[in-house]
Chains A and B, each alone.
Chain A
Amino acid sequence: MPGDARSSKGPSPSSPSSSSKTVSKMGPPPAKKMGSLSSIQAKLNFSARPSTGSTTIQTKNAEDRKKMPPPTLTAKAVPVVPSSSRAPNISSKSAPSLGASTKDKGRANDNLEIMDDEDEAFEATIKALDSTSGMMWADRYAPTNEVDLAPGKARLKKVKGWLHEALYGHPPNTAPQGESLERLRDKVRKYRRILLLTGPAGAGKTTSFRVIAQEMGLDVVEWNEAIEERSLGGGFDRESPVYKLTSFLSRNSFTPLAMTQSSSQASSSRPKARPRILLLSSIPNVSHLPTKEAFQAALLSFCQSYTSSSCPLVIIYSSVGSSGRAEESWMDRERGSTDGITEILGKDMRDGPWSTEVDFLPLAPSFAVRALNRILPLAVKSPSDRPPASALQLIALTCNGDLRSAVNSLQLLCSRVAKQDGRKRKRDDEELNSKSKAKGRGSQGGKGAKLDLSDQLRAVLDVVSRKEQSLNLFHSLGKIFYNKRVTDPGIEEEDRELYSFVRAMPEPDGLPSHLKDFERSRSMVQIEAFIPTIPVDTSSFALWVHQSLPAYCTDVDQVGAALDDLCSADVMRTEEDIWQSSTHAIAYALHLTIRGVQMALPSPVPRNRQKIVKPQFFESYRLSRINTDKLNYGAAYLTKKAIAASAKLAGAGGAPSVDDPPWGGMIPKDVIATEMLPMMIKIQSASKTPLLPSAVQSLAMPPYAMLTMGEIELRANEDISQELSELAVGEEESEVVDTSVWVDESDNAPQEDDALAGDDIENWD
């Protein structure tokens, strides 16, 4: 039996019953995880394998075949994915006795027969394609050392540094001298209580943490909400999850007793026992208010009850909004990403000094490609079976920074690629090469067109990723901005078909003479067909259109007309009643956006290498939120100061003093933003006496310069594909851009950094 070899590899249909235990252990989780994917995969796998099964039937049971239904059907009845534990059991038991009597038995036995016969074939298939071994690649080929981790080095270093500080009281590689170590250790560790790893799903939060923890030799204790504790009296313990969490935190927040001693004795050297770290990867249902309060209280008490032997906590939280998805409006995305975790942890935690947040960004495509390239040779042994590099790139681009989904897509893709025999693949490759040459400029637009992909592969990828559409954002924007009409001179090759189609439609009646201004020749954009291909929601689409619009206009009248329609569309669905407004309103708004802009644009649009640029809106919105926080902080500061002064004044028994002005009442926010703060910043800079806390200083406007087009032009010069990847994925580099926005402002307030540095950690005691 070849079973021994397989048992280590994972489940296989004919494993002896001894190995069925491991099979059943490994079986269910992947099946559960795969969810909707599994159904597709099952189909694809099915078409890959049973073909081998049916050949065996043909040879052995040729006679039988005449009475039997087609074997494909029976093969389908057999669980295709070998992760099921039932099949091997039966087959191993029944195989010897049933072997001869198959003919008399019904269909059920035939199943078994097939299973039995298939063994060898399966063995071969499994060897050829590891993909069928019932485990998601994302888990199976998860990185095991730090080098292989996909997220950026800076973040990993941050996580590592934090863990090190939290456990040993000093950053890695700097061993402080014996004397100060003792003193410093508790001081640092006291404020390294909670590490938040946030970021979208599939950004590598959990994997990174686990790998780092493993490399550092940490003992990770994980809390899992799903654990039902059985109480002694039988039956389930019905205490609430939060209560369990609270007790978990209090139970585990200290290292085991033996280690406590060793760590306190071995003062400067590393403790010998494995340091313990708590991990919270699922968070209780915080939409329930009492639960949330209890959760926050538990965390707070965890933070406050520090002793030198308590261990830190790591919370992993997938932020809700994944970037670039069409279903979410930008508002949700903005709110989901930043407010989410602080909202959950509560104000005390956020303002307190105990927690540090490391925000994982969605993976940049280049990072994702690297990760996929690492996995591929491990998963698919023979180079000829591997999908082309362009496919990897496409997967990486379409995964929206979600590496897990990218790996899943890759797995699914490989399960299909492997089926095709080599010759056919070669032909495909040739075909696509010639095709891509013939194509010249990518008629498909967007990034996908640049990659060499056969139509077939593209179709597979379409099924696999379901996100292929999102490549078309630039394509759809281009369609609008180029505003092609039938009368345009020089119809391009790619448009021929569409052109004749539009041409064939009946000519509309001309407009009366007083409306001649509104007459346009027929548009090449078939709006009904066009709308479903728009990859983003109406609101974001309007923003994209708005940003690049002026570049395509020759006259301000055109911009004005188009903007008017954008405004009308904007009014249809407003921020306040985004949930109340009818879904039709969204459709109307989209129609108005498209038609209005097409009406307003010149025809033909002059082409002078205009570029589509990313809306400034998001950046501006983000900044305004930051500034609103600062403003609130400034307002609170002013109020507090005024009240303190007023109270002093009252205490002085009415004797007027110079520095204690009377209370003038609460000042409205708008007045603070438009009058108080700007003027106070001016007065302060002229008089050189501080009036405002340093955090508020940056509210000062940068000097007005007519040439602040820098950012736009910079982006406009970038390759369009670069833009796209930025839309889909917040790259590591985009952080650099963010900070550069702030440079000119923070220049105005050089004391800010000093003040922050001056915020002594001891203030919190």
Chain B
Amino acid sequence: MSLWVDKYRPRTLDELHYHDQLSARLRSLAASGDFPHILFYGPSGAGKKTRIMCTLRELYGPGVEKLRIDQRVFVTPSNRKLDVNVVQSNYHIELTPSDVGMYDRVVIQDILKEIAQTQQVDLNAKQRFKVVIINEADALTRDAQAALRRTMEKYMNNMRLILCAGSTSKIIAPIRSRCLLVRVAAPTDDEMSKVLHHVAKKERFHLPDPASDAIISSSSGNLRKALLVFEAMKMQRPDLSGDLDVAKPDWETYCGKVADAILSEQSAQKLLEIRGKLYELLSHCIPPTVVMKTISERLVEKVDDEVKKQIVHWTAYYELRMRVGSKKIFHLEAFVAKIMMVYKNYTLMGMMDDIDMF
């Protein structure tokens, strides 16, 4: 069995459900024979990868789907060995150099040199160049990006780069200017509902509108998440009717409950209790920044306007410190304590106006 999110992934540019203009442009680019380096960017779950794969298929035909996975070993100047998983076909190679952290420069240099120095051997290939897909390009170090920049100029003949990033803000200007920037925006609600209904039709059942609305509103423009939630809901409640309970990931529910706990009582005891929950989240590999963001979003939903500003302010403040610091729990907890203080002061002030609050 495979997930719907995989099963109904479009394979060609024609099958894509939204951003038609973009699809048309990509198609003409692939046909022109003058394919540039491209930087795809846009939020998670908007369909960047899908579009990249479709473009590749447009460039090389179905042969590009014949994949294999390799584990490459790179040796750093300090003689450390790095294992990098690489997915490749005869025409392209895909890698995530940021997996190796500060050594990504080595990986970039070695891989690109290797690709660039080998000519395309397949005479039937539609294109003379190979494509290198670099995932999470915005997580590359500056060194790696600088290395990338040199190679982009040098080996243009044999190789094209496709970078995939969340945003362009962390990509150095020289690279941005050497790439064609392609923004893949998150799908609108209508577009998402179109996709959901398409899937429902393929799976041969009817998707009631309230269900589709609930899914869309809970997934905030992330189509991957929407499809996962959709499938989970369908599995849990096959008729998708009545009192809908959107199947959220457990950790999100967790964060929501932490937020509720913060608002329910502001005391040292409650803080201890919340600490246990935070530890639980962290030990399940949920990134601390995501935890903080989710809690904060939930809080903002629930409080009065005057407090919202404060919450956002302190979230930003503690997230910055958390990135620098090493013990994430300190910062998460300090954030929680701060919100408690703010909220407590607010309710105490409120008490002066309105005694009935208690």
Chain A residues close to B by CB (< 8 Å): 289, 539, 542-543, 546, 550-551, 553-560, 563-564, 566-568, 570-571, 573-576, 578, 616-617, 619-621, 623-624, 627-628, 631, 636, 639-640, 642-643, 645-647, 649-651, 653-654, 656, 658-666, 668-671, 673-676, 678-680, 682-683, 686-687, 689, 691, 699-702, 704, 706, 708-709, 712
With known contacts A556-B340, A673-B287, A683–B326 Cβ distance under 8 A: no
Residues 192-233 (chain B) with a chain A CB within 8 angstroms: 222, 224-225, 228-229, 231-232
* Mask of B67-110 contacts with A, CB within 8 angstroms, 1/0: 11100000000010100010100000011100100000000000
Residues 217-260 (chain B) with a chain A CB within 8 angstroms: 222, 224-225, 228-229, 231-232, 235-236, 247, 249-251, 253-254, 257
Let me know if A567 and B271 touch, CB within 8 A: no
CB of A552, distance to nearest CB on chain B (Å)? 8
Which of A564, A674, A706 has the most chain B CB atoms inside 10 A of its CB?
A674
Question: Could you say which residues of chain A place their CB within 8 Å of the CB of B330?
Answer: 542, 546, 563, 566-567, 570
Chief secondary structure at chain B's binding surface: helix
CB of A698, distance to nearest CB on chain B (Å)? 10
Residues 245-300 (chain B) with a chain A CB within 8 angstroms: 247, 249-251, 253-254, 257, 261, 266-273, 275-277, 279-287, 290
Let me know if A550 and B321 touch, CB within 8 A: no
Let me know if A643 and B69 touch, CB within 8 A: yes
Q: Can you list 28 A-B contacts (CB < 8 A)?
A: A546-B329, A546-B333, A560-B340, A563-B333, A563-B334, A570-B326, A617-B279, A619-B283, A623-B283, A624-B283, A627-B285, A631-B285, A636-B85, A639-B87, A642-B6, A643-B69, A651-B66, A656-B11, A665-B49, A666-B87, A666-B96, A679-B228, A683-B3, A683-B231, A683-B235, A699-B284, A709-B272, A709-B273
Q: How far is the CA of A551 from the CA of B6 in the complex (A)?
A: 49
Let me know if A646 and B67 touch, CB within 8 A: yes
Contact of B135 among A661, A668, A680 (CB under 8 A): A668
Contact of A679 among B99, B229, B283, B334 (CB under 8 A): B229
Let me know if A567 and B321 touch, CB within 8 A: yes
Question: Could you say which residues of chain B place their CB within 8 Å of the CB of A539?
Answer: 326-327
Question: Could you say which residues of chain B place their CB within 8 Å of the CB of A660?
Answer: 2
Q: How far is the CA of A708 from the CA of B275 in the complex (A)?
A: 10
Q: A560-B334, A624-B284, A679-B229 are in contact. List 19 more A-B contacts (CB 8 A).
A: A550-B268, A551-B272, A554-B268, A556-B266, A560-B340, A560-B341, A570-B325, A639-B87, A647-B66, A656-B11, A658-B7, A662-B65, A664-B5, A664-B49, A666-B85, A666-B87, A671-B44, A675-B225, A679-B228
Chain B residues close to A by CB (< 8 Å): 1-3, 5-9, 11, 44-45, 49-50, 52-53, 62-63, 65-69, 79, 81, 85, 87, 94-96, 99, 133, 135-136, 164, 222, 224-225, 228-229, 231-232, 235-236, 247, 249-251, 253-254, 257, 261, 266-273, 275-277, 279-287, 290, 318, 321, 324-327, 329-331, 333-334, 337-338, 340-341, 344
With known contacts A639-B69, A663-B67, A702–B249 Cβ distance under 8 A: no
CB of A322, distance to nearest CB on chain B (Å)? 22
Let me know if A571 and B325 touch, CB within 8 A: yes
Let me know if B338 and A628 touch, CB within 8 A: no
Let me know if A670 and B287 touch, CB within 8 A: yes
Q: How far is the CA of A556 from the CA of B274 in the complex (A)?
A: 13
CB of B185, distance to nearest CB on chain A (Å)? 18
Let me know if B136 and A668 touch, CB within 8 A: yes
Let me know if A680 and B273 touch, CB within 8 A: no
Q: Which residue of chain A has its CB nearest to the CB of B50?
A: A664
With known contacts A563-B334, A701-B280, A543–B327 Cβ distance under 8 A: yes
Q: How far is the CA of A709 from the CA of B133 in the complex (A)?
A: 47
CB of A330, distance to nearest CB on chain B (Å)? 10
Let me know if B229 and A665 touch, CB within 8 A: no
With known contacts A550-B272, A560-B341, A686–B96 Cβ distance under 8 A: no
Chief secondary structure at chain A's binding surface: helix
CB of B192, distance to nearest CB on chain A (Å)? 15
Q: How far is the CA of A564 from the CA of B318 in the complex (A)?
A: 10
Which of B96, B330, B341 has the most chain A CB atoms inside 10 A of its CB?
B330
Q: How far is the CA of A712 from the CA of B251 in the complex (A)?
A: 22
Question: Could you say which residues of chain A place their CB within 8 Å of the CB of B5?
Answer: 664
With known contacts A554-B268, A566-B334, A620-B283, A662–B85 Cβ distance under 8 A: no
Let me know if B268 and A686 touch, CB within 8 A: no
Let me know if A674 and B3 touch, CB within 8 A: no
Q: How far is the CA of A686 from the CA of B337 in the complex (A)?
A: 37
Question: Could you say which residues of chain A place their CB within 8 Å of the CB of B66?
Answer: 646-647, 650-651
Question: Could you say which residues of chain A place their CB within 8 Å of the CB of B275?
Answer: 550, 616
8 smallest beta-carbon distances between A and B, as pairs: A661-B6, A665-B49, A686-B235, A678-B249, A560-B337, A575-B326, A650-B65, A679-B228
Let me know if A674 and B249 touch, CB within 8 A: yes
Q: How far is the CA of A675 from the CA of B268 in the complex (A)?
A: 32
Question: Could you say which residues of chain A place their CB within 8 Å of the CB of B99?
Answer: 669
Contact of B9 among A554, A631, A664 (CB under 8 A): A664
Q: How far is the CA of A649 from the CA of B287 in the complex (A)?
A: 35
Q: How far is the CA of A636 from the CA of B96 in the complex (A)?
A: 13
Question: Could you say which residues of chain A place their CB within 8 Å of the CB of B326?
Answer: 539, 570, 573-576, 578
Question: Could you say which residues of chain B place their CB within 8 Å of the CB of A701?
Answer: 250-251, 254, 280-281, 284
Question: Could you say which residues of chain B place their CB within 8 Å of the CB of A678?
Answer: 249-251
With known contacts A661-B6, A683-B3, A650–B337 Cβ distance under 8 A: no
Let me know if B232 and A679 touch, CB within 8 A: yes
CB of B332, distance to nearest CB on chain A (Å)? 10
Let me know if B249 and A556 touch, CB within 8 A: no
Q: How far is the CA of A623 from the CA of B44 in the complex (A)?
A: 28
Q: How far is the CA of A676 from the CA of B227 in the complex (A)?
A: 11
Question: Could you say which residues of chain A place their CB within 8 Å of the CB of B6?
Answer: 642, 645, 661-662, 664
Let me know if A574 and B225 touch, CB within 8 A: no
CB of A630, distance to nearest CB on chain B (Å)? 8
Q: How far is the CA of A317 from the CA of B224 in the complex (A)?
A: 47
Q: How far is the CA of A682 from the CA of B252 in the complex (A)?
A: 13
Let me know if A674 and B287 touch, CB within 8 A: yes
Q: Which residue of chain A has its CB nearest to the CB of B61?
A: A654
Question: Could you say which residues of chain B place their CB within 8 Å of the CB of A669?
Answer: 99
Let me know if B94 and A647 touch, CB within 8 A: no
CB of A616, distance to nearest CB on chain B (Å)? 5
With known contacts A550-B269, A567-B321, A683–B9 Cβ distance under 8 A: no
Question: Could you say which residues of chain B place their CB within 8 Å of the CB of A679?
Answer: 225, 228-229, 231-232, 247, 249
Let me know if A659 and B2 touch, CB within 8 A: yes
Question: Could you say which residues of chain B place their CB within 8 Å of the CB of A564?
Answer: 334, 338
Q: How far is the CA of A664 from the CA of B54 in the complex (A)?
A: 9
Let me know if A663 and B229 touch, CB within 8 A: no
Q: How far is the CA of A661 from the CA of B11 in the complex (A)?
A: 9
Let me know if B324 and A640 touch, CB within 8 A: no
Question: Could you say which residues of chain B place their CB within 8 Å of the CB of A621?
Answer: 283
Let me know if A659 and B1 touch, CB within 8 A: yes
Q: Which residue of chain A has its CB nearest to the CB of B1?
A: A689
Contact of B271 among A550, A663, A664 (CB under 8 A): A550
Question: Could you say which residues of chain A place their CB within 8 Å of the CB of B257?
Answer: 704
Q: How far is the CA of A559 from the CA of B270 in the complex (A)?
A: 11
Which of B8, B236, B279 has the most chain A CB atoms inside 10 A of its CB?
B279
CB of A354, distance to nearest CB on chain B (Å)? 21
Let me know if B135 and A567 touch, CB within 8 A: no
Q: Which residue of chain B has its CB nearest to the CB of A667?
A: B49
CB of A557, distance to nearest CB on chain B (Å)? 5
Let me know if A674 and B321 touch, CB within 8 A: no
Let me know if B228 and A683 touch, CB within 8 A: yes
Q: Which residue of chain A has its CB nearest to the CB of B47?
A: A664
Question: Could you say which residues of chain B place their CB within 8 Å of the CB of A546?
Answer: 327, 329-330, 333
Q: How far is the CA of A617 from the CA of B283 in the complex (A)?
A: 10
